[in-house]
Chain A
């Protein structure tokens, strides 16, 4: 198991390096080929050549890509100092880059925004797991019934409606219309109830999409599991139907659900862009959208890295969980 973990961790590290290289290429190398000067996009309305040059120096745009990458990695562990034109900017370790647009080190902004996204993702995950799985199980057990058909139509709607539609709709009804919920983000430290009030619509909106997917997957998996021989065996033992479902069928059904959950959470932690944008939540997704709009490369790189990290960690956790659930996966 330890060897397996080490191997996985090593693979994850390699993967990260590949991701960083890819992102570096996309933002720093490809534009060069296309003949676009990135430095030019950093200066204002009256472009002064000195300003363009300074951007070039600060971002190290003229350095070879490998040295840019190396500087970046070094910065993570020992911090980094950017110097240009008498202005010295220090970015403390772990330095995941420094934005010269907003004059902020990337890492503190990420850690500042991370809890918002985490809160959004976890809260929504609880909702969609509870409702999605429950709806899926009920649908499977009452296959073909009115409930099943109704639930699956709702699930289809949930899967196909875009977030900004359901999000705006929920705002229009509950916030602007009925005025039940304020719908504006409040940090949890300021007021817990305010935080709940700000998060409940994003949770529901995001959970609706995922609950729909989870309901469909749960239903399909459950029906498949119910056809398994070991379920028949369980019944042949004289177990009540409740025990058959709860103990035997659910455990197998949860395996693919957990895999999905891990992947979805990992990806969401990288930023629920649409949800955060729709509800103006100051999370990672909002920041990355902002960064993309402003071509704020250090942030894009930082968030990409964090997202990859989250996905890789989620993968690892899923693999370990998988081994816990399914003894066949356990490795010597």
Chain B
């Protein structure tokens, strides 16, 4: 269907891209020097886990986001992208939300619509929240407990509103008794038994069994209130009705999004949101290089997606505008996973052979090196999750003695596996992620040295759920190694590892437990975690689960991912937060000038 006559010119294209990269690098160096002062950039990593230039913030102005990616949906029930959750705080409020503080403190919860953190009773099976005064919708009407219940109920209508997280649904109604508000025959469509709204100011949750992360789930964007008369069902994402300080002015998918002040929002009712700018806009680009150049030129303030700059933009920025950059840990772990259904990965020794045979430094390099890629991953728990030990826990010495691979140990494991001469397998990798393809090639090269011959199969990345998410397909295709990455939905081992490691999460389609881990001891620890309300016990369980997973050698971690993110010199009150995996906390960003 493409009509321009440029097909089949890959080599030319690569050469051309290299030349352009060079030109762009030099072209963009015309900018003035950043002095780090009042009007300049705050400095390298100045906003990484700390607040940069908080005192310079002025009310007013237009905060300009740029992005090459639109949200999966702006519907609070349906969005699942990290940046969507971060951005949604502009126009949606929840009972609880994350503290607007940098780093680890930002992952802590604080009351938002609720007056306090809620009363827990009945051994963690009942939660009661009272609503603040003065909380309003964009048309000035008060936000009621029924609006919150309705907003949560929408997640039950998966047939209409697919895509969002379903933690609350699984926790409140594990048997799926409720069919969702659209099939609800009660007059008010509020038939979900697990939530009571005795009055407009009170909401009570009844859990069939306790869940230690319940408050985290209440803080998710998908627990935002939605008003029934404003629910346009599947089209709600085109214009969500605002409960926050900003409301949708215009939205054209893939083109632009503009938020303006919600004049009915009262600052006195909201202890969290500062609402500095008058206007917030997103412009969508199709060319990542172009977007990065616009960021460098100061036309836009930051990247909405917060997943790092393009290689060319990064090179230029690191050279000429380092003071505008932050290098946070993203919360993602990048890894390879071994489905146990594909021989010989049913044998732990063959899995270990891969772990020892891999060259971890070259994998890190393929991911982008220590700054743009991240530190060598030594275990599966991201540093932002409580209980994580980072590189201190390195059972296979991936960042230590074996960082360039240990062929001798790999051979030993192969012998133990009964494959002394190695074996053949297939690496599955998404075709739309060049970095992942590069990683697969790197892995292929180092495995060859120990006698493991791996073929690379690039599959359609947009079909992930149907291809590697289907265990029978994985088995059929013989995908012994799958390249993937994963980040926490909320900072806990439940919000990160449960879909990956708990045997009850093995699905026939859309599966994420690619390794098909069926370890009763791991399942037991998750059960314990979910029912434990003691924080230190939770942390300890997280650590133990992580150890158990690593001992099983189901995963070969590549990196604890890091990004290079851009912040314009116009921005004030900038900081990264663990709650959004190292992204900037959008909701309280401000500008240094109201113009």
Contact = CB atoms under 8 A, between A and B. Distances in A.
Query: Do A and B come into direct contact in the complex, CB within 8 Å?
Result: yes
Interface of A: 35-38, 40-55, 57, 84-87, 89, 100, 102-104, 112, 160-165, 168-169, 171-173, 175-177, 184, 209, 264, 267-268, 270-280, 282, 285-290, 293-295, 303-304, 307
A41 B293 CA distance: 33
Given A41-B466, A103-B235, A176-B24, A267 B30 contact: no
B162 A51 contact: yes
Interface in B291-310: 291, 293-294, 296-297, 299
A44 B163 contact: yes
B294 A184 contact: yes
Given A40-B466, A50-B158, A280-B290, A87 B254 contact: no
B27 A173 contact: yes
B512 A45 contact: yes
A165 B19 contact: yes
B293 A176 contact: yes
Contact of B9 (A53, A162, A277): A162
Main secondary structure on chain A at its contact with chain B? helix
A161 B166 CA distance: 49
Contacts of A287: 254
Interface string B11-22: 011001101100
Given A41-B462, A271-B1, A48 B162 contact: yes
Nearest to B472: A35
**Smallest CB-CB A-B distances: 4 pairs:** A47-B510, A86-B182, A51-B162, A85-B159
B470 A37 contact: yes
B61 interface: no
A22 B476 CA distance: 28
Given A44-B80, A176-B297, A288-B1, A38 B466 contact: yes
Contacts of B5: 209
B360 to A, nearest CB: 28
B3 A267 contact: yes
Interface stretch (B281-289, B522-530, B550-558): B281-289
Nearest to B164: A44
B582 to A, nearest CB: 19
B56 interface: no
Given A103-B235, A172-B27, A293-B432, A165 B4 contact: no
A282 B466 CA distance: 30
A218 B183 CA distance: 67
B416 interface: no
B4 A176 contact: no
Contacts of B16: 161-162, 164-165
Interface of B: 1-6, 9, 12-13, 16-17, 19-20, 23-24, 27-28, 30, 70, 72-73, 78, 80, 157-160, 162-166, 180, 182-183, 233-235, 237-238, 252-255, 284-287, 289-291, 293-294, 296-297, 299, 432, 462-467, 469-470, 473, 476, 499, 507, 509-512
Contact of A100 (B3, B234, B294): B234
A112 B512 CA distance: 38
B466 A165 contact: no
Contacts of A264: 3
A7 to B, nearest CB: 27
Pick from B78, B296, B463 the residue with the most CB of A within 10 Å. Answer: B463
Contacts of A276: 286
Contacts of A271: 1-3
A177 B27 contact: yes
Given A165-B16, A169-B20, A276-B286, A43 B510 contact: yes
Contacts of B293: 171-172, 175-176
Contacts of B464: 41
16 contacts: A40-B466, A40-B469, A40-B509, A44-B78, A46-B499, A50-B158, A54-B158, A86-B157, A104-B253, A161-B16, A162-B12, A169-B23, A271-B1, A271-B3, A279-B290, A294-B462
B287 A54 contact: no
B158 A280 contact: no
A22 to B, nearest CB: 11
A307 B238 CA distance: 27
Nearest to A82: B234
B463 A40 contact: yes
Contacts of B17: 164-165
Given A36-B467, A40-B463, A48 B158 contact: yes
B51 to A, nearest CB: 31
B463 A35 contact: no
Contacts of A49: 509
B291 A280 contact: yes
A171 B13 CA distance: 17
Contacts of A275: 4
Contacts of B463: 36, 40-41, 295
A35 B4 contact: no
B465 A46 contact: no
B234 A89 contact: yes
A85 B27 contact: no
A329 B491 CA distance: 74
Nearest to B6: A162
A113 to B, nearest CB: 9
Contacts of A304: 1
Given A44-B163, A89-B234, A289 B286 contact: yes
Nearest to B68: A280
B523 to A, nearest CB: 18
Nearest to B13: A162
B465 A40 contact: yes
Contacts of A85: 157, 159-160, 180, 182-183
Contacts of B510: 40, 43, 45-47, 52
A267 B2 CA distance: 8
Contacts of B299: 184
A264 B133 CA distance: 63
B159 A53 contact: yes
Pick from A45, A175, A264 the residue with the most CB of B within 10 Å. Answer: A45
Contacts of A45: 80, 165, 510, 512
A170 to B, nearest CB: 11
B3 to A, nearest CB: 4
A51 B27 CA distance: 48
Contact of A47 (B28, B289, B473, B509): B509
Given A85-B183, A278-B287, A286 B234 contact: no
B3 A268 contact: yes
Contact of A282 (B1, B4, B255, B507): B255
A55 B160 CA distance: 9
Nearest to B294: A184
Nearest to A57: B159
Given A46-B165, A102-B253, A280 B159 contact: no
A78 to B, nearest CB: 21
A299 B183 CA distance: 29
Contacts of A48: 158, 162, 166
Contact of A51 (B6, B159, B294): B159
